[in-house]
A and B are shown apart, each in its own frame.
Chain A
Amino acid sequence: MIYRTAGQFKTTYASDQAIFPIVQDRVAVTLALTAAFVIPPALASEYWLQAVLIPLLVYALAALGLNLLTGYAGQLSLGTGGFMAVGAYSAFKLSTAFPHLDIVAVFLLAGLVAAGVGLLFGIPSLRIKGFYLAVATLAAQFFLLWLFNKVAWFVNYAPSGTITAPDREVLGVLVTGPNATAGARYVMALAFVAVFGLVAKNLVRGRLGRAWMAIRDRDIAAEIIGIRPLRTKLLAFGISSFYCGVAGAELVFLYLGSAETQAFDINISFLVLFMVIIGGLGSILGSFLGAAFIVLVPIFLTNAPHLVGLGLPVALQKQIELMVFGALIIFFLIVEPHGLARLWQITKEKLRLWPFPH
């Protein structure tokens, strides 16, 4: 009864092409966004903000980026960690070289740098695809991390080799660096995710997104109907890397506070790939659901045994976590290749008919 679309007539092209054509969706998204901005900073504890919500938002942004590339454009990438590192290191260089540059601008510029690097490593995708491309992106992953490790210029010649987020303000509130409150950093991360989430949603239903999906589904046919593979694929790499770059900058500036190249190793690439698979390949909502899932499952696995009075050793937890992740990947690929997002879609369809199933 609640989720009924009867009577919602679309009388203009504008209303037909709205991002959320159904009133209930519009209301729900607005409410959810407002709630996300208001409730956690006021109510959530330091632990929840720092250990759950901020990483969730950061990873969601990275997953969005990878989903655009892998889910929508069909180009498998294992180099996400490398592109995130580019964003983080260029944000660090920019903010320390130009201390008066607005931090929001720093994040965006860092994203642009990452986009440039992504374009560069996307060039092989014009000749190769599938697994072959995965190897090419692995080259990006390992080469970039090696570069950041070896060239001291990237860390401002710090002997420890770590980059540390400097204190920067937005509208007079400290938002980055270890001295900023978790609430402020959370709101900053959320603002970025909200804006870029909407941008992504818009992007994939527009001309470019449809071109990506055409390339993904049948590249030869796409070329025949006049989609230029070169431009489309490179744009996918560029935009995806932009998202990943901003996410990388956020990872250091808003979440970790300081980091080495270790923070961006191949495991991050896999983790983000898992988020995309579990959340749903080719779904914006799925990127968020996947990120939430991957962030929450380890926390659940850590805490659940304690709740029932079982104390598991840390090593065993780690092993169980690996097994659960691996099994879940296979499970989702077999049972629900469209991921958690598909489950939500099914729920919506059922809700439309409820309480009459036919």
Chain B
Amino acid sequence: MDVLYGLVAPFADIAGSPAFFVEVLIGGVVAGLMYSLVALGFVLIFKASGVFNFAQGVMVLFAALTLVGLMERGVPVVFALGLTALVMILLAFAIERVVLRPLVNQEHIILFMATIGLTFFLEGFGELLWGSNVKRLDVGIPDRSFSVAGVLVNELELSAGVTAAILVAVLAVFFHGTRVGRALRAVADDHEAALSIGIPLKTIWIIVWSVAGGVAIVAGIMWGAKSGVQFSLSLIALKSLPVLILGGFTSVPGAIAGGLIIGVGEKIGEVYWGPLVGGAIENWFAYGLALVFLLFRPQGLFGEKIIERV
């Protein structure tokens, strides 16, 4: 009976104080958008090269660390941003040359494991360069809160939402409206076919990893401004995996939708139903949800259905 009451009571709480519910909801949406920003990087690389990039989370950390490190040494914000972008492009070159090129035509799972190696390397390298203490990132985004109809809204969170929306729009145009975008999709479909019609695989890979690096910078700025630049940033990569499962591996809007569902779901679950089981369900809620999805809709919400019966 108690359990039943515990399950139902939160609904009464929600109805009782809608303003608080909306705040929780907004918190969830913002967290979800942050996950989406990381997941976007994954989707880009997967969509364009079929590589499942486990290192995306650590690329976010690396970008944020570089930006903060440069700014701490007195480089103005705009230059620091430009330099960070340059570093990410160089990183893309290095990854293509050192990791991807020797592994062309290997199984996906081998490439996946190579990116796990890359994750560890970049973690160590980033800290080696910039130190491992928590840093504050301030690029001039206002962090004030104002109240709309009794609900507190944070300007930083608002700008994160707007940025994510702009980013998705730009990427959608990039993938579907430009020559390079079409080439990217061709490469993802079939490496060899793309090569044979004269698409330079090497260039494409560098471009897509650079773009993913750019997305990592944006995600790094947002996460860094919200919770400081620290080691745990690389862990959001793990949170982005269920986001991808929900949204589908190849869908840019899917990454956003998946992120929102997981962000909102885990915040509401934690706040209202968490106490029932002792809290901290945020740790696994996303994975549980992903597991359910895997059993009933493995391709995700917007993914391409691959039929294979074994």
Residues of A within 8 A of B (CB): 76, 124, 127-128, 130-132, 134-136, 138-139, 142-143, 145-146, 149-151, 219-220, 223, 229, 266, 270, 273, 277, 315-316, 318-330, 333-334, 337
Contact = CB atoms under 8 A, between A and B. Distances in A.
A111 B98 CA distance: 41
Contacts of A136: 290-291, 294
**Max count, chain A CB within 10 A of own CB: residue among B103, B117, B298:** B117
Given A270-B116, A315-B132, A326 B123 contact: yes
B128 interface: yes
Contacts of A315: 127, 132
A139 B109 contact: no
A216 to B, nearest CB: 10
27 contacts: A76-B109, A124-B294, A127-B294, A130-B109, A131-B52, A135-B291, A136-B290, A138-B238, A139-B290, A143-B287, A149-B280, A150-B280, A223-B310, A229-B310, A319-B127, A319-B132, A322-B127, A325-B120, A325-B121, A326-B119, A326-B121, A329-B113, A329-B116, A330-B99, A330-B121, A333-B117, A334-B99
B113 A333 contact: yes
A86 B271 CA distance: 28
B124 A277 contact: no
A311 B56 CA distance: 34
Contacts of A142: 283-284, 287
Contacts of B242: 135
Contact of B278 (A127, A150, A333): A150
Nearest to B249: A131
Of the listed residues A132, A150, A327, A337, the one surrounded by the most CB atoms of chain B closer than 10 A to its CB is A132
B283 to A, nearest CB: 5
Given A325-B121, A327-B121, 15 more contacts: A124-B295, A131-B52, A135-B245, A135-B290, A146-B281, A150-B277, A273-B116, A277-B113, A315-B132, A321-B124, A323-B128, A325-B120, A327-B117, A330-B98, A334-B103
Interface residues of B, number: 46
Given A139-B284, A329-B116, A330-B98, A132 B121 contact: no
A329 B123 contact: no
Contacts of A145: 283
A128 B128 contact: no
B102 interface: yes
Nearest to B245: A135
B110 interface: yes
Contacts of A325: 117, 120-121, 124
Majority secondary structure, B binding face? helix
Question: By CB atoms of chain A within 10 A, which of B102, B119, B294, B308 has the most?
Answer: B294
A322 B290 contact: no
A229 B121 CA distance: 36
A330 B117 contact: yes
Interface in B92-122: 98-99, 102-103, 106, 108-110, 112-114, 116-122
Contacts of A150: 277-280
A149 B102 CA distance: 43
Interface string B129-151: 00010000000000000000000
B284 A323 contact: no
Given A333-B113, A333-B114, A138 B128 contact: no
Contacts of A132: 245, 294, 298
A303 to B, nearest CB: 19
A137 to B, nearest CB: 9
B190 to A, nearest CB: 18
A321 to B, nearest CB: 7
Contact of B280 (A76, A134, A146): A146
Nearest to B309: A220
B280 A322 contact: no
A135 B121 CA distance: 22
A59 to B, nearest CB: 17
A90 to B, nearest CB: 20
Interface centre among A131, A151, A273, by most chain B C-beta atoms within 10 angstroms, is A131
A337 B242 CA distance: 28
Given A131-B52, A132-B245, A143-B288, A323 B120 contact: yes
A77 to B, nearest CB: 12
A216 B295 CA distance: 21
Which residue, of A127, A318, A328, A330, has the highest number of chain B Cβ atoms within 10 A?
A: A330
A337 to B, nearest CB: 7
Nearest to A270: B116
Nearest to B55: A326
B288 A322 contact: no
A319 B128 contact: yes
Contacts of A149: 280
Nearest to A224: B310
A322 B283 contact: no
B98 to A, nearest CB: 7
A322 B234 CA distance: 14
Contacts of B291: 124, 135-136, 139
B103 A326 contact: no
B121 A322 contact: yes
Contacts of A333: 103, 106, 110, 113-114, 117
A71 B110 CA distance: 12
The 9 A-B residue pairs with the shortest CB-CB distance in the complex, in nearest-first order: A326-B121, A329-B117, A322-B124, A326-B120, A139-B287, A323-B124, A142-B284, A150-B278, A330-B117
Nearest to B278: A150
Contact of A266 (B102, B103, B238): B238
